[in-house]
């Protein structure tokens, strides 16, 4: 039986997390709200909640099918997905295949420079501090994760990169960078959590080089709704064709 939604646990910038009548499950509800620059810029993207739930469900299912353990259980309704309840590890893992965004400013690196192998960075998940860049030693010192847990997070992040770089390439998009979050189950297993959507990654159209992700919103490039829809349509066609 599908667990039933009970009360909201917390509301984030793009999702609301609900508890359920099952102690092992939560429900992620995807909102249309869009924020950038630590919520200094706010707006909405048409049907974003619906699109992101579809995209994240399809990608998490694909990752699960290819050996990445995630919190995804199943798609529930247009804006809701059923997930395993986790204790979120307060470390964001960013994987970069090319330079874009914060690294360009921080280290004066030319936008578009390739990283081979992919560059991995860690950020402390704290809205109050603006998610600062951290070193591995901070993670151990403050006991945010153990070395063993971090090893799983890094291995899984590299695996996600390998798998999704190929998927996006097949639909004419280059995966530039992305952010992942992880959490632990009651039995201490570390699973991929949160979401994988155009909100949390950069995708450049392989033909035109145009961004097809939240940078359109961040930089007021226009065509934001259309880009989210286009990515979702291309993914849907790809997954339907590969069934």
Rounded CA separation 3/10 (Å): 18
Nearer to ligand UDP, 23 or 132 (CB): 132
| Pairing state between β 201-205 and 91-98 | unpaired
Q: How far is the CB of 22 from ligand UDP (least distance, A)?
A: 28
For residues 51 to 90, the per-residue mask of contacts with ligand UDP, x marking binding by CB under 6 A and - elsewhere, is: ----------------------------------------
Q: Of residues 209-228, which lie at the interface with ligand UDP (CB under 6 A)?
A: 214
Long-range contacts of 32-37, Cβ-Cβ distance < 8 Å, separation of 24 or more: 34/199, 34/214, 34/217, 34/224, 36/214, 36/217, 36/218, 37/218
CA 243, CA 221: separation in Å to the nearest integer? 35
What is the footprint of ligand UDP within residues 26-55 (CB under 6 A)? none
What is the DSSP code string of 61-87? HHHHHTT--BSEEEEEETTEEEEE--E
Among 19, 22, 47, 102, binds ligand UDP (CB under 6 A): 102
Minimum CB distance to ligand UDP, residue 126 (Å): 10
Residues 144-203 that bind ligand UDP (CB under 6 A): 177-179, 200-202
Residues in contact with ligand UDP by CB under 6 A are: 94, 101-103, 131, 177-179, 200-202, 214
């Amino acid at each position: 039986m599908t667990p039933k939604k009970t009360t909201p646990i917390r509301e984030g910038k793009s999702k609301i997390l609900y508890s359920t009548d099952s102690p092992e499950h939560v429900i992620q509800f995807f909102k249309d709200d869009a924020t950038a620059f630590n919520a200094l810029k706010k707006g909405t993207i048409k049907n974003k909640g619906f699109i992101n739930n579809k995209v994240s469900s399809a990608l998490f299912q694909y990752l699960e099918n290819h050996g990445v353990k995630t919190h995804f259980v199943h798609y529930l309704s247009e804006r809701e997905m059923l997930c395993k309840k986790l204790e979120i590890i307060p470390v964001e893992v960013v994987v970069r295949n090319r330079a874009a965004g914060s690294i360009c400013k921080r280290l004066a690196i030319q936008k578009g420079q390739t990283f081979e192998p992919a560059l991995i960075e860690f950020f402390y998940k704290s809205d109050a501090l603006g998610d600062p860049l951290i070193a591995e030693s901070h993670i151990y010192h403050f006991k945010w994760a153990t070395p063993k847990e971090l090893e799983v997070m890094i291995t899984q992040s590299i695996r996600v990169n390998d798998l999704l770089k190929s998927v996006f390439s097949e639909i004419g998009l280059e995966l530039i960078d992305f952010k992942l979050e992880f959490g632990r189950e009651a039995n201490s297993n570390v699973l991929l959590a949160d979401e994988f959507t155009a909100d949390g990654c950069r995708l450049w159209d392989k033909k035109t080089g145009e961004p097809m992700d939240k940078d359109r919103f961040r930089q007021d490039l226009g065509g934001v709704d259309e880009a989210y829809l286009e990515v979702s349509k291309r993914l849907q066609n790809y997954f339907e064709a590969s069934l």
